[in-house]
Structure 1
Amino acid sequence: MTGLPEMDVARVQRWCRTRVPEHVRDEIRVEVDVADRHLTIMECRPPWQDEEAGSEWSRFPIARIRFTKTTGLWELFWRDRHLRFHLYDLVPATATIEDLLSEVERDPTAIFWG
């Protein structure tokens, strides 16, 4: 159990599931890792070569959404090339997690999906 609002965690999980059409989910998936204070959206891909069959999928962080319990607000973070997260300041902190998911999907600066 985390300190995150369960409904918001479920919203992000549902958003991730709908991000990739079912017929290509053997090639790419979008998943969410749940931690105590944040959610990390991950792009997942199968092993590159046939001899790696059975190996685990690679997991690459795309964005992080952090919750502050005292304010009830979510903040969006982007990942740099060193896999460090930085506050994405083009959208304000919000109580509505869908606003942040919309920004990740819209990706006006190509910082999330490239």
Structure 2
Amino acid sequence: MLDSFTIRRIQSLMNGYIHEKVPAPLRTMVKLTYVMNNDELILTEERPADERYQWDVLPIARFHWEGEQWKVYAQDESSSWNAVDVIQPCLDFEDLLEQVERDETGIFWR
């Protein structure tokens, strides 16, 4: 389980990342959000739904702390989380976030 200092550091990193990723004029059309529980963080994209004042949530990536390192997962067509083999598990959360951002294989940002 992650300690409170690490959790706060990751939350600060994610808040800064989201602020930089989506320009202010576009935030009514798309939002990046995340949910962090214990040893897991799920990054999502939200877009306005057909119903007024509702947002559709699309999972982008799942970061999971396993065996003293972070591992990245992506969802398949059946909404199952699968390990992303091209991204090696790592101690540094920020390094994995950068690899998800670059998305050299087109798994996350479609």
What TM-score bracket applies, with the shorter chain setting the length?
0.7 to 0.9
Matched residue type, 1:59: V
Using structure 1 for the length normalisation, give the TM-score.
Answer: 0.84
Return 5+ residue gaps in structure 2 as ranges.
none
Does structure 2 retain, via aligned residues, the 8 Å contact 1:16–1:32? no
Which of 11, 14, 17 is the equivalent residue of 2:13?
11
| Residue aligning to 1:53 | 52
Using structure 2 for the length normalisation, give the TM-score.
Answer: 0.86
Give the Cα separation in 1 of the matches to 2:78 and 2:20: 28
Task: Say which SS state the counterpart of residue 53 (structure 1) adopts.
Answer: coil
Task: Say which SS state the counterpart of residue 61 (structure 2) adopts.
Answer: strand
| Residue aligning to 2:23 | 21
In the alignment, structure 1 residue 84 sits paired with structure 2 residue 80: yes
CA RMSD of aligned residues (A): 1.7
Identity %: 26
**1:91 to partner: Cα distance:** 2.0
Task: Say which SS state the counterpart of residue 109 (structure 2) adopts.
Answer: coil
Distance 1:21 1:64, change over 3 A: same
- Structure 1 outlier segments of 4+, above 2 Å: 2-5
Which of 33, 36, 58 is the equivalent residue of 1:34?
36
**1:94 to partner: Cα distance:** 1.1
Return 5+ residue gaps in structure 1 as ranges.
none
**1:46 to partner: Cα distance:** 1.1
Give the Cα separation in 2 of the matches to 1:85 and 1:12: 21
Distance 1:13 1:82, change over 3 A: farther
Cα-to-partner distance string for 1:2-58 (whole Å, 9 max, x where unaligned): 74622123212321232111110000011111122210010101123xxx223x211
Give the Cα separation in 2 of the matches to 1:95 and 1:13: 20
Does structure 2 retain, via aligned residues, the 8 Å contact 1:33–1:39? yes
